[in-house]
Structure 1
Amino acid sequence: MPGAPQVSATPLPARLRTAAARFLLPTVLAVSFAVQAVGAFLPSVPLLVASTAVGLAADIALHRWQRSMAAALGKLHATVFVRQVVRDLLMVAGLIRIEDQDYEKKYLALVCGLLVFYALHSACQALAILVRRTRTLPVVTRNIDASALRLSAAPPALLMSRSGQRLLLFGLPSAAGLVITAAGGSAWWAAAGIALSVACATVAVGMLATRLSRGRRPVTSEQALEWFEAWLAEYRPTVGMYFSGGTSSAYQANMWLEPLARLEGRPVIVLRERFMVKHIASTDIPIVCLPKVADLMRLEQSTLKTLIHPSNSGKTSQVLRIPTIKHAFVNHGESDKLSSCNPYAKAYDEVWVAGPAARERYALAAVGVDDRDVVEIGRPQLDAIEPYSGAPAGPYTTVLYAPTWEGWDGNPGNTSVVEAGENIVRALLADPRVRLLYKPHPLTGSVDPRAGAANTRIQEMIRAANAVRAAEHAAERPAPTAAAELARRTAELDALTTSSFRASADDAERMLVQTVPAPGRAAAVAAATAAWEAAYWASFPAWEHRIVVGARPNVYACFNRADLLVSDVSSVISDYLASEKPYAVANTSGLSEQDFRDTFPTVRAGVVLTPDAAGVPALLETVREPEKDPFAGARSELKQHLLGPSDPPSVVRFDEAARALCAAADGHRAGMALRALPVIPAQREAAATPDAEHARG
């Protein structure tokens, strides 16, 4: 059927192999137990020894590479503890069957030794929970000198949080001793192995028990909160960013780090989830995490005046209760989707948007946001995007395909990955002069499995195309020093962004506390990032397609390398328009092209692609021959409509908006203070005079 999306040619067995690999280790475990039971019943020494070794190896591999599957087995009550007990007891049963004389003297002691080992393992787990509770403080920080809290290094993770791995590791000596005994050795081998396992568990119990002594405990929760309030009083923050969400949403906060650091005043970042502390990118800004609402309310007595919010979350309503702080919703991106004019925005004091288009969007949506509360600030994080310079300079046209994710509402027009992604990529790969950069949204496949499967197939297509090109351009490879330079720059950047972290008292979630960074750290990170990006692009040949799924390089760095963007209706288009380069939008909504353009204004300066991607060759021609580009003038006009004027710069407007909202917070606090003053009798009499009544009127 013309225009219908093509079905992927990826063979079904490849998908089956992926599913089979997921269940391989659990299957091996189940078979090993069955074979071990048969070996113990017959009895058969080879079966008993082989099944025990295979089962133990599979269990260790499961905890090393498939922790989610290990957790799923635990929900079925087949925990690692149960598996280890069954494995050991089957070994003992097999030994009894192999040599059924004097087993009371030889093997009853072994069973008792194993029971002691299991008891010590349980005691170790109980102590780990107690130690974790004493070390979990109500506040987690980064970029703050926390030396006053006298935080000590956490016990090894093997003792604190990896109970399954601990049991398997400490149980190795006993398992080895039992196997040697079953293979014809003396029962003393089993006794020695069990004794060694008991000794390891005893040492672990002792190490954790000492952590509960009064001298080894960290500060109490109240002492930690007192320290935090003292830090607030000394630092006197004025403006900050509030963020709550899952690990995959950290990018929403990270894109505002640099603009926040440029604001006048003393910025701070307020988080709610402990795990999020380590997912915030490198920054000099102090970071505090306050998981409990009661502790969050302590900000009411601080000097903090304004908080910006890159996203909405269930916990946002909790901080909005603080009356002394003004709140501005800045969003993590703007598009024509309904999510960019969410009714929740009316809960904030102000809504900061990029340009007139967003203001119009809120007015048309009629979601209760007063136009007087909408402030146009531009997009301050787009300063690094380079402007359009004409046709591609090299032999290859670099195309960035950056589709968004499927969203929560199931609208087929949200993402092009499912219906058009493979066709778009296939058409781009068919052009020998195209170098493709594929950067899918981090949440792709999180709601619709079809999107995740299509994303996987697209990446397989790109790898296959690279293999063909590698054979054609075998002599065109970067110098060997390029890879070494990238490794050096990666190590340098990692050292600046991670090496100053140290274990904190909140090791229950393995959080991180960072001391005050050296002056100029942000500038050093920026320089190291630029050097890393240069090394990254130089590390592969110009003809090689790239799959960009990590945090580096970010989408803005990809913008600067691209000659053309292909995307969906999303904030990626609005941000890309800062460069005024050509772009195309995939239409998988089912609307006609004209209705699609009318419904989504950000599309009006770009090419619309149908799901079959038939328009890709003509699109590439307009990029290579700018005189054939019909949208050049429209892009300049749309850029101003979406992002606002270039003068004054966005960073200036962002700072002006922050200072104005801080001034409003000062006025609100002053009014609260006046209303809280007691009214003395003389004031009542003065207020009752006719002149006073006239003045009030």
Structure 2
Amino acid sequence: MPVDARKSSVARKVRSLGGQLIRRWGLVPAGTPDGVGEDENLVGRPWPFEVMVYFADTTEAIYQIEQWYRVFESLDAEHRVVVVTRDSRTARSIRDGSMLEVRTIARAETLDDILGRSKTKLILYVNHNPENFGALRFGNLLHVSLMHGDSDKIVTVSNQTKAYDFSFVAGRAAVERMARYATLFDADERCIPVGRPQLDEQAREREAVTLSRPTDDRPTVLYAPTWEGGQPSAAYGSVATHGAAIVRAILDDGRFRLIYRPHPLTGVRDAAYGDGDSTIRDLIRRAQDELPEVGHTVDGDGDLAVAFGHADVLICDVSGVAMDWLATGQPLIVTLPTADVVVARSALTDLVPRLPAGDMDGLPNLVARELDEDPTGAERRALQEFYLGDTTPGASTRRFIEACERLFRIRDTEVARVAIGELPGEKSVEPRETND
């Protein structure tokens, strides 16, 4: 072998060894999967899982799958579920927070080997990570986008949705939103309303929290903004533009308790959001020192249902938080973005009060009016089924499981058709159920 070739070979081996050590020592930069897989123990063996949840992110995005834990556990009780990650740290976090089976797969060929031997029929995705294409390439399985909340953000009508065979959505509102804003996409055919199964668990937790609320009788305002977004067109967050002014207005007025619940990714892309978050926390810290009995607080962890259970009115941005709050039947105020973002106009955002940046002098009286009179309450409650489907506890989880089972049958029919070389429509297949 020529000298230059030997040097190149040695260099590759050194880089490979260095990469392995960096991964093993946990020194991989945040946001990059560590690639520490269980491949050696998985190759050559089938697994018993009918459903695979593919989550290629690192722990910074764990909140996106956390809200699905209880739902996936309910599905697993009837049809075995496995979560596949590309990061061992993410896998540990999921195991710590759930009862789900988790496997970390670093190499593409490992997934080929396993799925070629196993009875997996369905792959579920909770986000649009580009790494999802590592699993989307399998044509003998059905691929379903779940996402991690329903909202009027542009991501809910993203062209990326077309990559999946179907999308499970909350209610008829999501289907109509996709039909209105997505080009060349048959929303009625490919969107399946299942409700918000997360709300089944949230309703129980919210009721328990409500029964144990503080004795101080002042109403509670929950300010739960979203983050700055991954790109300017999705900058719906208010922390940098509205946040400090909202918090000052509520604290200075004195009639309300304030809970601030920032998005987990606040400040990761835009330093102005990190600065705004710090200012808000400082304001609340001073208020806590001056009036500890009131209970102003920053809610940085835990289930959203706990914050919902303590709150009487919500101030939030265009986000999935607004949709989930709709199930409570309580007043809602939504901020008006200052950036040039795309908002899918909807019945809810047209109905509720919108809060622009700038002068917040009138905010406390607006909050008081919403609490005392709730002028849009009847109309909001009438929209619950349109946005969320049947909110009877347990109904959405059951509908989710039944939708998965229906897709099992559709997948089996399609695989059989392809195996004998039929064209679509040459034989009758199971009709799609209506979602009205």
TM-score, normalising length: structure 1:
0.51
Which residue is equivalent to 1:613? 360
Give the secondary structure class of the aligned counterpart of 2:226.
coil
Pick one of 375, 382, 385 that aligns with 1:630: 375
State the distance in 2 between where 1:404 and 1:372 align: 31
CA shift for structure 1 position 297? 1.5
Pick one of 279, 289, 301 that aligns with 2:117: 301
Distance 1:379 1:222, change over 3 A: closer
Distance 1:367 1:249, change over 3 A: farther
Pick one of 542, 550, 554 that aligns with 2:303: 554
2:95 equivalent to 1:278: no
The correspondence of residues 344-493 of structure 1 with structure 2, limited to 5 A, is 344-370=160-186, 371-386=188-203, 394-411=216-233, 414-470=236-292
Give a deviation string over 1:126-167, Cα, whole Å, max 9, x none.
99x96995999xxxxxxxxxxxxxxxxxxxx9xx679xxxxx
- Would you say how many aligned residue pairs link Structure 1 and Structure 2? 388
Is contact 2:317–2:335 with CA below 8 Å preserved after alignment? yes
Which residue is equivalent to 2:430? none
Which residue is equivalent to 1:200? none
Pick one of 562, 565, 576 that aligns with 2:314: 565
Give the secondary structure class of the aligned counterpart of 2:52.
strand
2:36 equivalent to 1:224: no
Is contact 1:240–1:260 with CA below 8 Å preserved after alignment? no
Letter in 1 for 2:270: D
Is contact 2:38–2:106 with CA below 8 Å preserved after alignment? no
Is contact 2:200–2:391 with CA below 8 Å preserved after alignment? no
Which residue is equivalent to 1:258? 70
2:50 equivalent to 1:238: yes
Which residue is equivalent to 2:323? 574
Distance 1:590 1:134, change over 3 A: closer
Distance 1:411 1:358, change over 3 A: same
2:144 equivalent to 1:328: yes
Is contact 1:585–1:603 with CA below 8 Å preserved after alignment? yes
Give a deviation string over 1:161-220, Cα, whole Å, max 9, x none.
79xxxxxxxxxxxxxxxxxxxxxxxxxxxxxxxxxxxxxxxxxxxxxxxxxxxxxxxxx9
Letter in 2 for 1:603: T
Is contact 1:437–1:546 with CA below 8 Å preserved after alignment? yes
State the distance in 1 between where 2:305 and 2:351 align: 20
CA shift for structure 1 position 444? 1.1
Which residue is equivalent to 2:399? 653
CA shift for structure 1 position 226? 3.9
State the distance in 2 between where 1:290 and 1:624 align: 50
Letter in 2 for 1:658: C
CA shift for structure 1 position 308? 1.2
State the distance in 2 between where 1:375 and 1:385 align: 22
State the distance in 1 between where 2:41 and 2:368 align: 63
Instruction: State which drifts further: 380-389 or 601-610.
Output: 380-389
Unpaired runs of at least 5, structure 2: 1-12, 28-36, 423-436
Which is richer in helix? 1
Letter in 2 for 1:584: I
Distance 1:348 1:338, change over 3 A: same
Which residue is equivalent to 2:420? 674
Distance 1:221 1:284, change over 3 A: closer
State the distance in 2 between where 1:616 and 1:393 align: 25
TM-score, normalising length: structure 2:
0.80
Give the secondary structure class of the aligned counterpart of 2:62.
helix
Distance 1:622 1:327, change over 3 A: same
Pick one of 574, 577, 583 that aligns with 2:332: 583
Which residue is equivalent to 1:288? 103
Unpaired runs of at least 5, structure 1: 1-125, 137-156, 163-219, 471-540, 677-697
CA shift for structure 1 position 600? 4.5
State the distance in 2 between where 1:412 and 1:430 align: 31
Distance 1:222 1:588, change over 3 A: closer
Is contact 2:218–2:255 with CA below 8 Å preserved after alignment? yes
CA shift for structure 1 position 577? 0.8
CA shift for structure 1 position 374? 0.9
State the distance in 2 between where 1:414 and 1:161 align: 33
Give a deviation string over 1:627-646, Cα, whole Å, max 9, x none.
x2101101112222211233
Is contact 1:413–1:587 with CA below 8 Å preserved after alignment? no
Is contact 1:395–1:433 with CA below 8 Å preserved after alignment? no
The correspondence of residues 17-416 of structure 1 with structure 2, limited to 5 A, is 224-226=41-43, 229-230=45-46, 232=47, 236-263=48-75, 264-280=78-94, 281-298=96-113, 299-370=115-186, 371-386=188-203, 394-411=216-233, 414-416=236-238
Give a deviation string over 1:449-482, Cα, whole Å, max 9, x none.
1111111111111111111113xxxxxxxxxxxx
CA shift for structure 1 position 553? 2.0
RMSD: 3.3
CA shift for structure 1 position 405? 0.8
